[in-house]
Amino acid sequence: MYSDIDEQVILERDCEATLIPFGNKITLKKGEEGHITQALGGSYTLMIRGNLVRIEGSDADAIGKIPEEQPWLEETNTDGRVNEKAVWEAMKTCYDPEIPVNVVDLGLIYSCKISEDKNDGSNVEIKMTLTAPGCGMGDMIATEVKQKVEGVPGSNIVTVELVWDPPWDREMINEAARLQLGML
């Protein structure tokens, strides 16, 4: 989904949101006004009450939006195992709510290992990092990666480990993302 910068919205119902950058949960009330500052990967970043908050795609209807489709769900292997391309596509729909580039293109995914599960299907082990170790949104971003990969057909056990070695730096951002961020 493309970013709808500064679109005004009025909440149509109460919904839970995550306060950025702290990660605290708050409840937004029906009738409150805000502005969408980023709409990527199925979630929405809003400026509301003078704060940035993130609303998950499952609550898109609260701001008059339709939840985003997940096209990677169509990509399945015939043997019941997870499709690696679908795993990477799912991870590409995960964003830091303050940066309009997905976690894969930011260079935050260090590894993705897929192994056969004894109960048919696949286990997926992901090692990722964050742009800063003290990021209050880190657990939320890692949880989103886990949940989206768990939704890929054939995935059984998905683990996401936050790692800090090697430390992330701007050189890990891919060229297209650097161009998008005005870094080239």
pLDDT reported for residue 169: 93
Band of residue 1 on the pLDDT scale cut at 50, 70, 90: very low
Q: What is the pLDDT of residues 153-172, one digit of tens each?
A: 999 999 999 999 999 999 99
Q: What is the pLDDT of residues 96-155, one digit of tens each?
A: 888 889 999 999 999 999 998 887 789 999 999 999 888 888 888 999 999 999 989 999
State mean pLDDT over 67-80: 71
CA of residue 157 relative to chain centroid, distance: 19
CATH superfamily of the domain spanning 72-180: Fe-S cluster assembly (FSCA) (3.30.300.130)
pLDDT reported for residue 74: 67
Return the domain boundaries, the chain.
7-63, 72-180
pLDDT above 70 covers a percentage of the chain that reads 93
User: Is residue 184 predicted with pLDDT exceeding 80?
Assistant: no
User: Is residue 69 predicted with pLDDT exceeding 50?
Assistant: yes
**Running DSSP on this structure, what letter comes out for residue 83?**
P
CA of residue 95 relative to chain centroid, distance: 4
* Helix or strand (DSSP H, E) at 149: helix 138-150
- Please provide the DSSP assignment of 94-118 as one string: -B-TTSSSBTTTTT-EEEEEEEE-T
pLDDT reported for residue 72: 60
Buried b (16+ CB within 10 A) or exposed e, 26-63: eebeeeeebebbbbbbbbbbbebeeebbbbbbebbebb
pLDDT reported for residue 155: 92
Q: Residues 84, 115, 148, 173: what is their CA dihedral angle, to the nearest 10 degrees?
A: -60
Q: Is the pTM of the predicted complex or chain greater than 0.85?
A: no
Distance (Å, whole) CA 138 – CA 51 = 18
Strands, E, within the chain: which ranges? 7-10, 15-20, 25-28, 33-40, 43-48, 51-55, 109-116, 122-128, 155-162
Type of residue at 5: I
pLDDT reported for residue 67: 82
Contact 127, 111 (CB under 8 A): yes
User: Is residue 5 predicted with pLDDT exceeding 90?
Assistant: no
Q: Name which residue leads in pLDDT, 128 or 40.
A: 128
User: What is 7-63's CATH number?
Assistant: 2.30.30.40
State mean pLDDT over 27-43: 93
Tokens (6 digits) for 33:
């006004």
pLDDT reported for residue 183: 87
